[in-house]
Each structure stands twice: as C-alpha cells, then as structure tokens.
A and B are shown apart, each in its own frame.
Chain A
Amino acid sequence: MELFDFTIHELHEKLITKEVSSVEATRSILARIEAVEPRVGSFITITPEQALADAEAADRRIAAGEADCLTGIPLALKDIFLTEGIRTTCASRILHNFIPPYSATSWEKLRERGAVLLGKLNQDEFAMGSSSESSAFGITRNPWDTTRIPGGSSGGSAAAIAARQATATLGTDTGGSIRQPSSHCGCVGLKPTYGRVSRYGVIAFASSLDQVGPLTRDVTDCAVMLGAVAGYDPKDSTSINAPVPDYRAALTGDVRGLTIGLPSEYFIAGLDPDVQKVMDEAIATYRGLGAEFVEISLPHTDYAVATYYLIATAEASSNLARYDGVRFGHRSEQAEGLIDMMTKSRSEGFGMEVKRRIMLGTYALSSGYYDAYYVKAQKVRTLIMRDFIQAFEGVDAILTPVAPTPAFKIGEMVNDPLQMYLSDIFTIPVNLAGTCALSVPAGFSADGLPIGLQLIGKPFGEETILRAAHAFERATVWHTKKAPL
C-alpha cells in the first residue's frame, strides 16, 4: 500500500506513532495527483506549496504532542468553499479571477485541526448539475470508467477519493450533489441535516436546500469529518445551536432491532436491474445483521423533482443576482453604461446550465406566475416534509437507491436537461425535507460501476445512519475496492 491509499484514521495512527510524517504523506498524494490527474481531472486548482507548508506545520504540531484526528491529513475542497488567498471559481467563468478575502467556516474548522489543503476540486458550475459536465474548467471523468461521468455536482470531490488524490474531501449537497457522485464513484458521502454545518463562506446556490458534507473512503472517516465541521456558527443564522455528538462513538457495529423503512415509491418497476440487485443484497445483509424492514409510503415522491426545480431555480436566480461585474468577478469590456455592463458581464460569465436555471427561476418568481409556481412548490414541499415525518413515526431509518442507474456516459444527457433533472429523483426529497442522508458503497454493476445505497435519517439523526452504514461496511467488502486507474 502507498501512503495515498490510507484512510484518515489509518494515516492518523501512522502520524502519531511517527511511522510517517505528514510531509511524506502529502508528497505521496501530490505525486499521485500528478500521475492520474490527466486521466481524471478532479481539480480546478492544485496548491502544492500550500500543502507542503501545511504539512510541515502539522509535523511540528505532531512532534509537540498536540495532534488532533485531522492534523497532517491531506484534504481537498470543492471549489465552492471560499479559501482566503486561494482562487475560488465555483467552476464558473464569472469567478475565474476571484481571490476570496476570507475563508468558509467549515474550512477554518479543518485548518484549526491542522488539516493540509491539496487544492480545489471540480464541480458543475455553481453546483448546478448531476454530471460535473457544466464546469467552465473542463470535465471530470469517473475513475472506475473514464468514459463516464463521476456524478455531480460534487464530481471532483468524489472522483478525487476514488482516484486516491485526497484522503478526504468536502462537498455540498442541494439536491443530491454529495450522495449521487459518492454512489457513482464508490465512496461514502453524507448530506447532514439542514443547519447542522455552517454554510458561511460557501457560495450560495439554493439557500433553503444547500448543505455542506464530507466525502470519504469509509464510514469512520465520514464520522470524523462530520464531527470536525458540524456545529453552530454565529456567522450563519440558519445553523442550529445544538450539541455536536461524538459521531465516531456511534459506530458500534450493532443494528439489531433497528427498524428500516423501504418506501414503495422508490422501488419501482423499471429500476435499473443492477441497482435492484444491489438493493436486494443489501437488504439481505441487513436482515442477517438483525435489522428489521417494513414497507412504508412517501406518497408525494413523484412531485419532488418538479417542486425542487421551482424552489431551487427561484432561490438561485436571486442568489446569482450578485454577479454583476461591480465588486468582484468578470466584468465585460464591451459594455456601454451600467445596465449594459451588468448584462454583458453576466451573459459572458455564466454557462448555459446556469443561464437556463436563472431563466426558470426568474420566470417562477415573476409577476403573474409567483403564486402558480413558486408558492405552489413551497406548499407541495410541506406535503413532502410531512411524508417523512409520518414515515419516521414507525422507522429509525429509510433505505433506498441513491440513483436510478449507475454512472451514465459523458455527453449522454447534456442535450436533455429535463432527463438529467429526473435522475435526481431519489436524492431530492431529502433536501426538501431538510433531513440527513448518506450514500455508502453497496456493490457493482455487471460493468464494474460502483452502486451506493442511501440511508435517510431523522432530522439530526446522523448517528443512526452512520451506525447503520458502518455495520453494513463491516459486513461487506465494497469500500475496499480500488478503481482500476
């Protein structure tokens, strides 16, 4: 095994016993990035000098006996997290030259623990997409099959884990953008409960849905990362002031007596046969571990995608109004007058998917359509939330597929946005309900593509789904498989 092959908890053991240094681990991963990056394309910006400086500082801290569980661990961030002094683009041409004057709280928390920054990861532009193909800085390829997409929008965050280009990463999830790429790339990805992690310094897409979360090699690492970034932040008034549990302590390996719901609306005829097979085997594994299953109903599931694409685009059209060429970002040099400058700067700076969503959102909020589209969607959101509240009266967790199919081919859906939107059907309801969910590796398709299973928890029920995912991981081998790069 190379140093880049280790998980956070494995590398931590080697660091504190002085078997290896953070500089050695960081050099190993930087060499790995250089070797595989031309075939994968996980990064927008690589920061080797920063990484080695961070690693040297971490080694001094370890030598002083002050190491934390993340001290000296090489991490990378989706390019949606502001990093002071390091270019942050959100994969958009409109931010191609943006150097943030401050850092995201979630990154500050990791830095305080001594984490090492390897660079900034590719994604869909402004996190709008399911394939990472809408980036203005080129596509990312799936390390398991480089003719396929890694998923999105946190595609670089997932591909970097699968390609061993970072020990762990952070992503964001507005409609599945952590869980779907985690499923497609065979890593663990968690979307925490809305309000669990601060969003200060995370470039906003849809503010009532966006949430920060980790992508990792295994469930233990996921618990470590969540524990590090969770908690109240006075700079994010939507973060919740609730104690942060010891998530790693929740990983008892015991799921006896756990009641897991299977929503009939998610196990539909026409589900990809490989996905169906993996779900059947996962259910059998859990039964063997002593969990109990009950069929449940989430009756408004079929309305979730329509609801989401009205609420998310409306919020996006408002959030993205700030990109006007005045204070930061791209400014057109072709313009005459202020309004023309703003219009041309935006038109030159935004890509097609972003323009399409701004147009939809502006339409849904415009005079005459506001009640019929936006308010209607907010009402249906209430019904979708109630579905989950009622379901959780009888179950501890809900098990579903993450995506209806394994990773699709690059270019397969770019000309059919509606079809692409529909591929998020199993992840979107969780964001609308505001609760937590994760993806854990659960098997492979006949073609060798990873398939994840989704565990949905009650609001602030991260411990339960982490415990259930960990027990599954201990009983299976899927998380130990390595992409054939």
Chain B
Amino acid sequence: MKITTAEVEHVARLARLELSAEEKDLFVGQMDAILGYVDKLRGLNTDDVQPTSHAVPVENAFRPDQAQPSIGVAKALANAPDRAESFYRVPKVIE
C-alpha cells in the first residue's frame, strides 16, 4: 500500500478535515490507487529540468505603495458568521 490509515489521519489533521471511519477507508483505497498511478512520473529522468510554477513568464507585479479604495468594514463583515463591533468573532483561541 502507498498510504496507510494512520497517514490518512495525519493528512486530514493537516488539512483541518474530520473524516468518518467510512471516509477514511474510502480515501485509503482511492488515494492508494491515485498515488500508484502518479508514480509513473518516477520513471522520467528530470535531473536537469527546472520546475515550472507558471506557464507564462510573468515578473513580480509591483505597484506604487499607495492606499487604494477598499470595500469598507460593513461590506467586509456582511458575510461574517459572527461579529462584534467591527470585528469577526471566533471561539476562544487560548484557554
């Protein structure tokens, strides 16, 4: 097997996902098949090949450091699941 249940649990924790027992079993099998398939890349020699992160050559896009109009607090908070004054409210971070 390319991937174990313990590894699936570890990756789920990194991704902030909570998986049911059935989902874990399903993903172990499916990720094993997919990782087995992508292993075909190992057969290619890429020692002298540079990685590509963008297909079109783009430089860093700089602009003058000047304030631009923004959407404002009311619009920014309009979709907030919970808020207090001009802030997003979340459950307690530190006990």
**Interface, chain A (partner B; CB < 8 A):** 97-99, 101-102, 193-195, 208, 234, 237-238, 240, 300, 302-303, 305-307, 309-310, 317, 321, 324-331, 335-344, 346-347, 350, 352, 355-356, 358-360, 362-363, 366, 372-373, 375-383, 385, 417-418, 421, 432-435, 459
Contacts and interface: CB of A to CB of B under 8 A. Distances in A.
A434 B16 contact: no
Given A101-B71, A376-B42, A359 B54 contact: no
Contact of B91 (A101, A337, A358): A337
B27 A380 contact: no
Contacts of A350: 17
A317 B15 contact: yes
Interface string B22-44: 01000100110111011011101
B41 A306 contact: yes
B52 A381 contact: yes
B82 to A, nearest CB: 7
Contact of B90 (A208, A306, A326): A326
Interface residues of B, number: 51
Contacts of A346: 15-17
A324 B91 CA distance: 12
Given A237-B61, A376-B46, A328 B79 contact: yes
A309 B90 contact: no
Contacts of A307: 41
A362 B17 CA distance: 11
B90 A341 contact: yes
A84 to B, nearest CB: 9
Contacts of A382: 46, 49-52
A336 B91 contact: yes
Most buried by A among B23, B34, B37: B34
A347 B49 contact: no
